[in-house]
Amino acid sequence: MEASKEETILTAAIHEFAEKGFEQASTNRIAKQAGVSKGLIFHYFESKEKLFEACVNDAIAFSMKKLDYEKWDLCTHLMEKLKQYSEQELLFYKDYPDVYQLIISAFASPPEKLSGKMSRLFTELSALAPQFLKKLIDGLDLKDDVDPVTLLAVLQSHCNYYSAQAMGYLKVHPGASIDALKPIINQFLDMMAMSLRGLLKNEREALK
């Protein structure tokens, strides 16, 4: 099915905002890339800020659909699941760099008029982001004195570090294969295993 004019504009705008940032992004370039008039952009989105907001919302919705960890079974083979998680995220960064970069830049340096909205959106997204880890922790046989909330914060920090390392590498080596990224994946797995060691009743089986 052929994309609608609105969808075509959003695709072009996501690329422009991801590459240039809000201030340097050009609606003239977006119109040229989308093959539409500049007037049609403002017919759909009213202003540059409204267009940016629509792009961020579209990028987040797309990310949540692609990285749907709610469907994951994390009850067995813990380290294998973590490996799959890390590889899936890497493939997402690699296949959709504009989407990921736009989301990061929207929260790091949002347009002044949208700073409040972006902040609230970031809070909502932050509540959803650890869903994979929360599901993982819920499926673990933790020792009685382990606080799941604290463990979630520790594992989330490892994921944030891993994402930053992976994105940094892919910016320099955009065509990198999964094999080339194995050192980053292996470091992430080692960090996760180290943080879980001594906290599980079935450690030998879970961390093998």
Q: What is the DSSP string of 15-47?
A: HHHHHHHHHH--HHHHHHHHTS-HHHHHHHHSS
Is position 180 within any domain? yes
The CATH number given to whatever domain includes residue 121 is: 1.10.357
Instruction: Write out pLDDT tens, residues 83-96.
Output: 887 888 788 888 88
Is position 199 within any domain? yes
Q: Give the per-residue pLDDT at 1.
A: 39
Is position 88 within any domain? yes
Kind plus residue range of the DSSP H or E element containing 68: none
Higher pLDDT, 42 or 124: 42
Is position 147 within any domain? yes
Is position 8 within any domain? no
Give me the domain span that covers residue 202.
Answer: 59-206
Is position 65 within any domain? yes
Task: Please report, for residues 56, 149, 194, 207, the alpha-carbon distance to residue 154 in angstroms, rounded to integers and kept in the order given.
Answer: 28, 9, 11, 17
* Total domains in the fold of the chain: 1
Q: How many angstroms separate the CA atoms of 41 and 39, rounded?
A: 5
Q: Indicate the pTM of the whole model.
A: 0.71
Higher pLDDT, 154 or 118: 154
Show the CA angle centred on residue 124, arms to residues 122 and 125, nearest 5°.
Answer: 65
Is position 5 within any domain? no
Report whether 69 contacts 131 (CB < 8 A): yes
Given a cut of 60, whether residue 180 has pLDDT beyond it is yes
Nearest to 94, CA basis, from 10, 178, 183: 178
Is position 130 within any domain? yes
